[in-house]
Structure 1
Amino acid sequence: MIKKLILKYFPSEERFWEVFRFLLVGGGCFVLEYVLLYTLTEYGGLPPLYSAPIAFTVSLILNYFLCVSFVFHAEHQSRSQVVLFVVTSLMGLGINQVTMWIFIDLVGIWYMFAKVIASAIVMIWNYFTKRFILHH
């Protein structure tokens, strides 16, 4: 029953578990990033648009190692794969910053809620770009 359901929505059972692992790692890294954002802003006195890229970068480094070893099982990375990972991650940081700026400064919502929206957008970007990079 569960296997039929999985195969209905995923091309293979392996892809299902890959997405599951990606969401697990991403969720953990999101919690880390969210806690760092809050801590640096509330206790470190940094404005959210300064603490956000710091928290993003720390989370990204951990995410990279977990994606390579645990999610995509792609331990042997070429130089071009690493460069593409870094470039797409910097693009993800840009997406994060623009989304945070729009929702904090233009829309006027609380920075922690803006981070949830930004993270959802960046998560979609990250899955497709990282999957492409680490599987090629």
Structure 2
Amino acid sequence: MKITPKNMIQTWLKQSTNKISIQFFRYIFVGGTAFLVDFGSLYILTEYFGIFYLLSAAIAFTLGLIVNYLLSVRWVFNKHTLDNRFHEVGIFTMVGIVGLGLNEVIIWFFTSNMHLFYIYSKIISAVLVLFWNFFARRYTIFR
């Protein structure tokens, strides 16, 4: 088969795949979308509703987790791997809870100890937690 830009787009964006490089490429977009939901919610809840930034971060992270799950199953990994969706969502959520814990600790550390603005702390956290979430989910759920 001749490699054309159309074939490459099909492979990288549309076709079901088990290639980790393509899945990670897609996960960057999924993670970016979930991050926008998470980040936007954090800002709105904290700045407009006056909710304490760590509580806002937990709520926002949960909203991002929901977006991440839906897009991961449909586009990144293109499959449900467990027969029981309840178990699949449970494991996905457990990985997310660990990610949430990492998120909270990282935001707290950089905001309280390094005196960074909480938004900057969130950006650092998002990059680090992205790697945890992808690899943990790929090897526990979407093998």
Shared fold by TM > 0.5?
Answer: yes
In the alignment, structure 1 residue 39 sits paired with structure 2 residue 62: no
Structure 1 residue 106 displacement after superposition: 1.1
Separation (CA, whole Å) in 2 of partners of 1:107 and 1:70: 37
Separation (CA, whole Å) in 2 of partners of 1:106 and 1:78: 45
User: Which of 63, 66, 77 matches 2:68?
Assistant: 63
**Across the two proteins, how many residue pairs are aligned to each other?**
128
Contact 1:33–1:59 under 8 Å retained in 2:
yes
In the alignment, structure 1 residue 54 sits paired with structure 2 residue 59: yes
> What's 2:123 paired with?
116
Read off the aligned partner of 2:29 and give its amino acid letter.
L
> What's 1:128 paired with?
135
Separation (CA, whole Å) in 1 of partners of 2:141 and 2:21: 17
Task: Give the structure-2-normalised TM-score.
Answer: 0.81
Deviations 1:53-80 (A, max 9, x none): 0000001011111101110011353444
Read off the aligned partner of 2:30 and give its amino acid letter.
V
Separation (CA, whole Å) in 1 of partners of 2:61 and 2:137: 16
Deviations 1:58-107 (A, max 9, x none): 01011111101110011353444332212111011000000011011111
Contact 2:30–2:72 under 8 Å retained in 1:
yes
Read off the aligned partner of 1:57 and give its amino acid letter.
T
Task: Give the structure-1-normalised TM-score.
Answer: 0.84
Structure 1 regions of 5+ residues with no counterpart?
Answer: 4-11
Separation (CA, whole Å) in 1 of partners of 2:114 and 2:34: 26
Structure 1 residue 129 displacement after superposition: 0.5
Contact 2:45–2:56 under 8 Å retained in 1:
yes
Residue range with higher mean Cα deviation, 75-84 or 64-73: 75-84
Deviations 1:7-43 (A, max 9, x none): xxxxx99333211111111111111111111111110
Identity %: 35
> What's 2:104 paired with?
97
Contact 1:100–1:111 under 8 Å retained in 2:
yes
